[in-house]
Structure 1
Amino acid sequence: MKAVCSRLADGSLGHLETGHIFEQLAVEGRRRIDAFVFELIFRNRMRVVAQQYAGLTLSFGWHIGYDKTGNCAYWFRLIDEQDEWNACDEALLARLTMHARQSDSATHVFRVRFQPDTNGFVSSEHVSGAWRPDREFAWALADLRPPGMWRSPRAMDNTDEAMAHAAFDWMSKYPLLLSWLPALSIQRRLINCMLSPALGRDPTDIDMMVLSPAGQLRCVEFKRKYPASGSQSFGLDLHPHVNTVRMMDSIGIAPLHILLVAPRWQKNESPLYWLDNHSLNTGWTWLAAGLGGEDAFSGPPLRTHGWDSGQRNASRQQFSISWSKIRRLHEGLNLGDEGSRKMLEFLTAGDLPAAPPVTFQYLSDRRLDR
């Protein structure tokens, strides 16, 4: 990772050449590339869905950084030509400002932009009701950083070159998907090469912020996953996800979770290739869960560790999402008109009370790999 960050900084790796982007992403965790692709597909699908309803405003590109005590002290909004600052961002800024004032806590909010002509990032911080002039982002981070917090770009322990190249081979078939990769390259450089080293710990990226027509804010976490067979539940990491859920809930932002459950529950296959198998299309399942309130999680904490523990071989504490919170949004990979309507309803209202509940057995019965 350190070598990749250095090459991105000196320009020997760029954000426009597909081969350079693949080289950059190859150092990510073993299943992260698959996750990136599904997140890109989800993001661009949500853009299409939102266009059907003018009152819904979406925002992408938010990242949360933590101070040495673990507080959500730093908020960064990565802006580009497709995701300019909008009404949803203004609403979130107002909420964060109000919360900081009420809690007497330090909260720093930045707008960050990549500048191709200088191959670097600039930022503007919101202070005392106004945006400061742009300056080099590295200098802004240096002002935030307590002595001794900086660390070198941290390598991912759980990598798999063969899985990475399989994902790259699949992506190479789709020009539209390849056109989305430069923005992903810039985002991953921001996280791995700037935010994580400067703050001394990994930041959290927010998949999507939503502003409803009634002015209500939602925070959306998207995952492509299936329930664990042992616990027969969907686990959510305590850090960062459960902690982010609780923080959002505490400041009046509804935490929502959207899950796309594949028809095959296999860890050693790239799920990207399942997207090309039309016989599997009807086996995918979209789920929706509102995670606000004390009853969002059930049962004792779970732990995962080692090879099957995400991008790093660390021990991770997880909580099980209560099945009572999970609703069936749509059956089938393609949302279509009906699925899009339900997605709009969920994002607008923050719930799907009339939708059928979901059980582990229901999802298990929909598996096509038995």
Structure 2
Amino acid sequence: MARKFRFAGSGLSDLESAGSAQTRGLHSMETICERLADGSLRHSEIRHIFEQLAVEGRRRIDAFVFELLFRNRMRAIAQEHAGLTLSFGWHIGYDGAGNSAYWFRLIDEEDGWNACDEALLSHLAIQVQRSGIAIHVFRVMFRPDTNGFVSSERVSGAWRPERELAEALADLTPPGTWRPPRSMDHMDTAMAYTAFDWMSKYPLLLSWLPALSIQRRLMNCILSPALGRDPTDIDMMVLSPAGQLRCVEFKRKYPASGSQSFGLDLHPHVNTVRMMDSMGIAPLHILLVAPRWQKNESPLHWLDDRALNTSWTWLAASLGGEDAFLGPPLKTHGWDSGQRNASRQQFSISWSKIRRLHEGLKLGDEGGRRMVEFLTAGDLPAAPPATFHYLSARRLDR
């Protein structure tokens, strides 16, 4: 979808224009959603996208950039190695009982409906038969001409005619479910615009931002208010050459020094892992560990430091089975609790599940082959295991 947009500008002058939010204070998420809806903020203008993303959590913008880099690297790897089918844009919504009852696939010219999506439909149909809980599946499209989202629901094996997504969501949820868009609690204007300053140097990265802007609007302004709770976005679905389905979560992170383990939030991530595993979909986790374990620095600038390139570490974890989370329970709260100011319960990933995928920031041919092997087989049993001490020894900031 990014190809359809022509930026009004992407240089520092636009950054400075967007940065006026630093002097007048950040908008609330509700205000951003209203301005996106009335067209005063547009997905085609980079300074508007910066203003929109600035209200995300203090470290979310860094995370978005790494996710975009990961997604586009995976696209390139899939093109180089025939047989893998990738799907991006899936979002899971929850009903009042907490069931994963609503599934939305945001599609565009770059990420159209494919065989991987059809395989997921088959798994969802089996899940309905097993659980007896109704599941609603929607294909969602953004229409630039109307500045809005339309959807088509899958019913009895066929797609219904398109209609506005807001109308479809209103029919799904009981009266009183809707809530105003929720602002993030841990916004940091200076950190946001430091990231934007870095992003402005890379035209290719900027070309990916309109699609991200649309996806974040869907999450924060449409699905979350209509469903009355935050949805979950799936980083990547993969269909192997043998027809096996994988669900992939990607994170740039490092292990907690106290517990000496990687934590994964109970909601939504561990719950999603367990749900996928119960559906026969292998839950996979890919981690990119930086050579600096610092929370108060933007990791984007480390990407420009060639001296650090060989010290990044790619890890692969297969999280299926009851032994995936055997480490000590974790909790984070307050300023260290992500974009929502709440206590988060986390589970520790068992080190026995984590393998070394590749050493070095750039995957290259070797790393690409290992990635394909992991996505195809769902595991890397022959790869050496990762340990806290192995990763700690690769740190360069102590």
Shorter-chain TM-score tier: over 0.9
* Separation in structure 2 between the aligned mates of residue 162 and residue 363 of structure 1, nearest angstrom: 30
* 1:94 pairs with 2:122: yes
- Map 1:1-370; keep pairs closer than 5 Å: 1-370=29-398
* Separation in structure 2 between the aligned mates of residue 254 and residue 148 of structure 1, nearest angstrom: 36
Letter in 2 for 1:106: A
Over the aligned positions, Cα root-mean-square deviation in angstroms equals 0.6
1:321-359 alpha-carbon deviations (Å, 9 max, x no partner): 000000000000000111000000000000000100011
In the alignment, is the contact (CA less than 8 A) between 2:261 and 2:327 conserved in 1? Answer: no
* Separation in structure 2 between the aligned mates of residue 312 and residue 339 of structure 1, nearest angstrom: 35
Letter in 1 for 2:127: H
Deviation at 1:94, TM superposition (A): 1.2
* Separation in structure 2 between the aligned mates of residue 296 and residue 313 of structure 1, nearest angstrom: 27
1:19-43 alpha-carbon deviations (Å, 9 max, x no partner): 0000000000000000000000000
SS at match of 2:365: helix
Deviation at 1:266, TM superposition (A): 0.3
Which stretch of structure 1 is more off in the superposition, 314-323 or 299-308? Answer: 299-308
* Separation in structure 2 between the aligned mates of residue 258 and residue 228 of structure 1, nearest angstrom: 17
* Separation in structure 2 between the aligned mates of residue 301 and residue 280 of structure 1, nearest angstrom: 32
* Separation in structure 1 between the aligned mates of residue 39 and residue 357 of structure 2, nearest angstrom: 44
1:183-233 alpha-carbon deviations (Å, 9 max, x no partner): 000000000000000011110000000000000000000000000000000
Q: Which runs of 5+ in 2 are unaligned?
A: 1-28
In the alignment, is the contact (CA less than 8 A) between 2:259 and 2:328 conserved in 1? Answer: no
Deviation at 1:148, TM superposition (A): 1.5
* Separation in structure 2 between the aligned mates of residue 215 and residue 36 of structure 1, nearest angstrom: 30
SS at match of 1:327: strand
Deviation at 1:44, TM superposition (A): 0.1
Identity %: 83
Letter in 2 for 1:226: Y
Deviation at 1:102, TM superposition (A): 2.6
Deviation at 1:166, TM superposition (A): 0.4
SS at match of 1:328: strand
* Separation in structure 2 between the aligned mates of residue 324 and residue 104 of structure 1, nearest angstrom: 35
Which ranges of 4 or more aligned residues in structure 1 deviate by more than 3 Å? none
How many residue pairs match? The answer is 370
* Separation in structure 2 between the aligned mates of residue 364 and residue 162 of structure 1, nearest angstrom: 30
* Separation in structure 1 between the aligned mates of residue 44 and residue 326 of structure 2, nearest angstrom: 45
In the alignment, is the contact (CA less than 8 A) between 2:263 and 2:348 conserved in 1? Answer: yes
Deviation at 1:177, TM superposition (A): 0.0
SS at match of 1:353: coil
SS at match of 1:286: strand
TM-score if structure 2 supplies the norm length? 0.92
Q: Which runs of 5+ in 1 are unaligned?
A: none
